[in-house]
Structure 1
Amino acid sequence: MLPLDVLGPGGPYRSRRRETVRNLAGDPVAELSLAPSLYVTRAIKALRRAPAPPVEARAAAFARAARAFATEPVAGLTPQEYQHTVSAVTGIPISVVRDATGSLARAAELIHRSVENARPVGAVDSWRDPRARDGAAVWTRRGEVFAVHAAGNHPAVHEGWLDALALGYRVAVRPSRREPFTPHRLVTALREAGFGDEGVVLLPTDHDVAGDVLGHADFGMVYGGADVVAKYAGDPRVLPQGPGRSKVLITAETEWEPIVDTLVESISSGGGVGCVNATGVLVEGDPSPVAAAIAERLAALPSLPSTDERAVLPVQPVGLARRWDGLLRQRAAGTKAWLGGDGVVDDLGDGSAVLRPAVHQLDSPFAQQLGIELGFPCAWVAPWDRDAGIRPLRNTLVLTAVTTDADLIDALVAEPTIANVYVGDHPTPWMEHGLPHDGYLAEFLMRTKTVRR
């Protein structure tokens, strides 16, 4: 089996406590070392003592790490072996893993874009800048160590913490035990590229020790469901990353037929497992034709093993897939099923099953189902009208607004709980390196202070 060691400040560490990582068929693939509490405490203390590399050295290290991550053997795996392993273990289609590999590499290579774009235009990044002679705002870190409890639903989630490393924080990553391969590869590449053993560490832990990773850092970011968001909502040191609940709004003066491709892409691209995938479609007028068109297109997607090049849908062990199906049936009670009403589990006969798409129609834009996000392509289609206003659209990571109503767009952009607004025919998973995902991470980690030399 592939050994996945703790990557600590003293180098790789193979602990006594290990966990077997299995593929979808239940076969052992890797052995993940779990860091004990004392090790975590000492590791983060070592990060705090370590100096941050100069800005130029960080930029060069990111460029080297990007090349290695995408094109070279890292930690004993070629890029192709790494991609196949992630797909075989998580059920994410291999084409999605391959695209995520390129996206992660580009994020590392272009990391200066998001860092520079986030810096206030009137601030300088060093007290040594000549403008500080007469007084200037200097952009500085609010702390030294940043920790992240990473998610395992998609490899590209690891783009989320790269900004902290680029800003000079030393970073501790607690990987998902479901998918530790991407952070292990990325952290290894970054360490070998120049950040060193005390610049970034990988600290796999069990649930009992997980809190220590966040507790000893200055700031942290944690991924999870609504329960995780609620748990950390009152902690100013922790940035929760919860469900995306991304949506599409179609107003009456626009035509929906030309954007069916965009609706299908929004719901199902990347396997439909991301926070940027649309789970809600709100239609001004009768939503039935829109729901029918989406269901017809999604029904044509093939059921294939995740490692098949043609795969586009997520795969899970049969038992887990059936639990997802049961949850969907429970939550969809009382709705009109256009797709998935008879179940979403397609057994592949090898212990795994494809999770097929589901489309359900709601009676109201305030139906509670609009807030439900599942681990496969699942869309809730609802009516919307001007009286409902923007209330049903709140708490949304990405909102695609197919409308020409400038006043409505003003209200959507001004709404604090809508993180991103795409006006017109743009799929919700669209992202561009250098633009904020859920705000810039630097908004949380940095501050300005006046310096005069």
Structure 2
Amino acid sequence: MLTLDVLGPGGPYRSRRVETIQDLTGNPVATLSLAPSLYVVRAMQALGRTPELPLDARIAAFAAAGRAFATQSIAGLTPAEYQHTVSAVTGIPITVVRNATEEIARAAEQIQHNVRKARPVGAVDSWRDPLSRGGAAVWSRRGEVFAVHAAGNHPAVHQGWLDALALGYRVAVRPSRREPFTPHRLITALRAAGFGERILLLPTDHTVADEVLRHADLGMVYGGADVVRKYAGDRRVLPQGPGRSKILLTAETDWEPVLDTLVESISSGGGVGCVNATGILVEGDPAPVAAALAERLAALPSLPATDERAVLPVAPIGLARRWDQHLRQRATGTKAWLGGDGIVDDLGDGSAVLRPAVHQLDSPFAEQLGVELGFPCAWVAPWDRDAGIRPLRDTLVLTAVTTDADLIDELVAEPTIGNVYLGEHPTPWMAPGLPHDGYLAEFLMRTKTVLR
């Protein structure tokens, strides 16, 4: 049994109230301390009094922490043991967890490059810059303490708040109780590398969670549509909701050569990410595309998540059956090309593989295009020029297989489309220094004129 303590201002803290974390087969794996309300309030107040770490020290600490996270034993776990634990508890394929480990380490080691990308080209980092003698825009924080309600669907989400720490914010992370292992490991490495008590891990239950946000200057919250609605009017909080990523195939292009791109977009990383494609819109007959996708996705193997060949997510059998029932309800009135007879593949040990699903819709405005599930699931719909870009709105990543420059102009200009990839680029593609859902620094920072 692993013990995951609160990482607070006075060092590790073991609460009287703990939660037992089980693996997919029901075996206990770890106990997670849950911080009580009074502790959270005092910890956040202490965080606000903690001085900023100088920039050079921050960058050096990030580099050391990134190397340690990926290569060293931390809190009693080797990298391989950590990766196996995450896979066994969450059902994310072990190779996906391993890749995420490298991504997080790389993001930490390249943090200075990444945050500089977000700074306006006309701004400087400090009022001490010689340019301020004649007047300069200085890149300045909008606050001092940043809080995160983290997601547990993928380890790599914890790259998302690193920029705040690099920009000088003091950071408090409330981890997902589904997967607290990654933030516990990462924050332990960051604290040991030099950040100390400038970063906290505050696991809580839902009744205490808002205390973490209430006592921060700014915050970021991951969740579904309900979370987005809850915080939509709060300018202090940046909600990170469903991705609803999509692919558009226009009539003047041939879809067969990009079938690999479609399959990768839907299923890579286990199909659990906000960047995985869920909507495929086809100008013309969508049936051949749906049939080809179903054939390819049906060939993916059902294996335990810790198997090196695993590519699909695994869940406890009860949860898998609830996912299956939910899919059946949402798919009413659609044509099932794959998954219509169920997506649960029982492994016989209390867990089940979540198999892919492909359904064909009658309209580009069908409500299913906004449905995002925790496994590879594609809704294939017809699209035409009369529909325009309305069905493509509210999309984190859109891969557009088209040569229509006017249409591309519209897609790039549409405010609710986060990223546009043209041609054979899968929706999960990402690169260091490029924005995911905009740069986080756009929310954290502002420019102010300083004249010396």
Contact 1:363 1:383 (8 Å CA) reproduced: yes
Could you list the per-position Cα deviations for residues 425-449 of structure 1 after superposition, in whole angstroms to 9, with x for gaps in the alignment? 1000000011000000000010111
Contact 1:15 1:33 (8 Å CA) reproduced: yes
Q: Distance in 2 between matches of 1:360 and 1:114?
A: 39
Contact 1:273 1:377 (8 Å CA) reproduced: yes
Shift of 1:307: 0.3
- The answer to whether the aligner puts 1:437 opposite 2:436 as a matched pair is yes
Q: Which residue of 2 aligns with 1:108?
A: 108
Partner-residue secondary structure (3-state), 1:99 = helix
Contact 1:359 1:380 (8 Å CA) reproduced: yes
- The answer to whether the aligner puts 1:17 opposite 2:7 as a matched pair is no
Q: How does 1:68-87 map to 2 (within 5 A)?
A: 68-87=68-87
Q: Which amino acid aligns with 1:298?
A: L
Shift of 1:113: 2.2
Q: Which amino acid aligns with 1:231?
A: K
Q: Distance in 2 between matches of 1:273 and 1:65?
A: 27
Partner-residue secondary structure (3-state), 2:160 = helix
The answer to which of 40-49 and 179-188 deviates more is: 40-49
Q: Which residue of 2 aligns with 1:140?
A: 140
Q: Which residue of 2 aligns with 1:60?
A: 60
Could you list the per-position Cα deviations for residues 26-73 of structure 1 after superposition, in whole angstroms to 9, with x for gaps in the alignment? 110000000011111111111111111111111100000000000000
Structure 1 stretches of 4+ moved >4 Å: none
Contact 1:53 1:195 (8 Å CA) reproduced: yes
Q: Which amino acid aligns with 1:133?
A: R
Q: Distance in 1 between matches of 2:146 and 2:75?
A: 24
Could you list the per-position Cα deviations for residues 315-341 of structure 1 after superposition, in whole angstroms to 9, with x for gaps in the alignment? 000000000000000000000000000
Q: How does 1:136-285 map to 2 (within 5 A)?
A: 136-196=136-196, 198-285=197-284
The CA RMSD over aligned residues, in Å, is 0.4
Contact 1:114 1:436 (8 Å CA) reproduced: no
Q: Distance in 2 between matches of 1:50 and 1:434?
A: 28
Contact 1:253 1:404 (8 Å CA) reproduced: yes
Q: Which residue of 1 aligns with 2:47?
A: 47
Q: Distance in 2 between matches of 1:194 and 1:408?
A: 49
- The answer to whether the aligner puts 1:293 opposite 2:305 as a matched pair is no
Q: Distance in 2 between matches of 1:207 and 1:159?
A: 23
Q: Which residue of 2 aligns with 1:424?
A: 423
Q: Which residue of 1 aligns with 2:325?
A: 326
Partner-residue secondary structure (3-state), 2:176 = coil
Q: Distance in 1 between matches of 2:27 and 2:440?
A: 38
The answer to which of 37-46 and 338-347 deviates more is: 37-46
Q: Which residue of 1 aligns with 2:363?
A: 364
Q: Which amino acid aligns with 1:327?
A: H
Q: Distance in 2 between matches of 1:290 and 1:55?
A: 51
Q: Which residue of 1 aligns with 2:119?
A: 119
Partner-residue secondary structure (3-state), 2:315 = strand
Unaligned residue ranges in structure 2 (runs of 5+): none
Q: Distance in 2 between matches of 1:113 and 1:289?
A: 44
Unaligned residue ranges in structure 1 (runs of 5+): none
Shift of 1:111: 1.2
Q: Distance in 2 between matches of 1:41 and 1:169?
A: 18
Q: Using structure 1 for the length normalisation, give the TM-score.
A: 0.99
Shift of 1:147: 0.3
Q: How many residues end up aligned between the 2 structures?
A: 452
Q: Which residue of 1 aligns with 2:406?
A: 407
Q: Distance in 2 between matches of 1:449 and 1:334?
A: 55
Q: Distance in 2 between matches of 1:107 and 1:397?
A: 21
Q: Distance in 2 between matches of 1:42 and 1:393?
A: 45
Q: Distance in 1 between matches of 2:407 and 2:69?
A: 43
Q: Distance in 1 between matches of 2:112 and 2:399?
A: 27
Shift of 1:22: 0.4
Partner-residue secondary structure (3-state), 2:64 = helix
Contact 1:271 1:376 (8 Å CA) reproduced: yes
Shift of 1:269: 0.2
Q: Distance in 2 between matches of 1:105 and 1:163?
A: 13
Q: Which amino acid aligns with 2:228?
A: V
Could you list the per-position Cα deviations for residues 368-389 of structure 1 after superposition, in whole angstroms to 9, with x for gaps in the alignment? 0000000000000000000000
Q: Which residue of 1 aligns with 2:335?
A: 336
Q: Which residue of 2 aligns with 1:317?
A: 316
Shift of 1:114: 2.3
Partner-residue secondary structure (3-state), 2:161 = helix
Shift of 1:101: 0.3
Q: Which amino acid aligns with 1:57?
A: A
Shift of 1:424: 0.7
Contact 1:114 1:440 (8 Å CA) reproduced: no
Q: Distance in 1 between matches of 2:448 and 2:97?
A: 41
Q: Which amino acid aligns with 1:350?
A: D
Q: Using structure 2 for the length normalisation, give the TM-score.
A: 1.00
Q: Distance in 1 between matches of 2:193 and 2:114?
A: 20
Q: Which amino acid aligns with 1:92?
A: I
Q: Which amino acid aligns with 1:109?
A: E
The answer to which of 55-64 and 108-117 deviates more is: 108-117
Q: Which amino acid aligns with 2:69?
A: F
